[in-house]
Amino acid sequence: MQMSGLKPDKDFEKIIIDAFSKKSDVWIKVIRMNFWSMKGRNIDPNPLPEVLPKEPHQLAKLALARMFDDPKTIITVTNTSRVPNSVDKTWLVFSQSPAQKEIIEGLAETSTLYVEEGGTAYVGRDYLSYFVLKYYVDDETREKKLRPPAPDSNYNTLKVKFYGKPVKEKYADALDKHFVDGSYVLGICATGTSSQDSLLSWLKILQERNPKLSKLNVVFKMSRRSPEIIEYEEKMRKTGCDSDDDKRYQQEQHSSH
């Protein structure tokens, strides 16, 4: 019931009391479920629907919507077939906000961006891999170039006190929402194949919305092994081949990639 998000009703509570009594751990579990299910029902700003979609691209759309709190973020669902010369024909789901576009337009042409594996996003019991477009920057560059000093006429920086306690600034810097672990996240993407070719198609689509991106250097930092290596290792596990020639061939394949 907890995994499915169901709240115990009165009939279920009576069954638990008759079977285990109110002094049992099972009854304590039911009480906690009743309490926290009501408390946390409206906490999530992007709650998942009760019935999750079965399509992978719809699950990816739900996952990307829950990653950042920028309300201006636009999530796009498209296909690599719209990109000329694309090899992998699969779906693409990516997100980008106006603040992320602003960061890209403010970068120098000598800047280097990185496409990295973001990790695994869970949507209910399903999960998928996603990738991020990052720009690493040190604190000094961030303060001087990407965060110029605000003019004196900017009244958004004023702090007003109510009831004797200072409140937070009303308008937070939108750029800070996308600064994570020493880098600016300039876009997030999930694809049907998670291949480098599908990510290359994603970058080409981003160039249509970010003209400055075509002038920047982009480096792929992928730790995924090639399909040939994975297929060979699976074959070795099935056949149980442990000869020296097989091991030598496997090492050569790893070193070449």
pLDDT for the residue numbered 254:
53
Residue 155: its pLDDT value, please?
53
> Is 253's pLDDT higher than 70?
no
Q: Write down the pLDDT at residue 255.
A: 54
Q: What is the pLDDT of residues 189-238, one digit of tens each?
A: 999 999 999 999 999 999 999 999 999 999 998 775 444 333 434 554 55
Please give the radius of gyration of the chain, using alpha carbons only, rounded to the nearest integer: 25
Q: Do the strands 183-191 and 179-180 form a parallel or antiparallel pair, or are they unpaired?
A: antiparallel
pTM of the model: 0.66
- Helix axis angle, 10-20 to 25-39, nearest 10°: 160
Higher pLDDT, 247 or 48: 48
Report the Cα 247 to chain-centroid distance in Å.
Answer: 37
Residue 150 has pLDDT above 80, yes or no: no
Lowest mean pLDDT among 35-44, 65-74, 87-96, 191-200: 35-44
The pLDDT value recorded for residue 245 is 44
Q: Which residue has the tokens 């109110």?
A: 22
Which has the higher per-residue pLDDT, 226 or 254?
A: 254
Burial level of 202, CB count in 10 A (0-12/13-18/19+)? buried
pLDDT band for position 136 (cuts 50, 70, 90): very high
Query: Which pLDDT does position 137 carry in this prediction?
Result: 84
Instruction: Quick: pLDDT tens for 78-100.
Output: 999 999 988 989 999 999 999 89
**pLDDT at 146 > cutoff 80:** no
**Bridge partner list, 55:** none
Q: How far apart are CA 210 and CA 117, in angstroms?
A: 21
Average of pLDDT values for 131-160?
66
Give dist(CA 131, CA 192) in Å, integer.
12
Evaluate whether 182 touches 137 at the Cβ level (below 8 Å). yes
139: amino acid identity, one letter: D
Is the confidence at residue 168, as pLDDT, over 60?
no
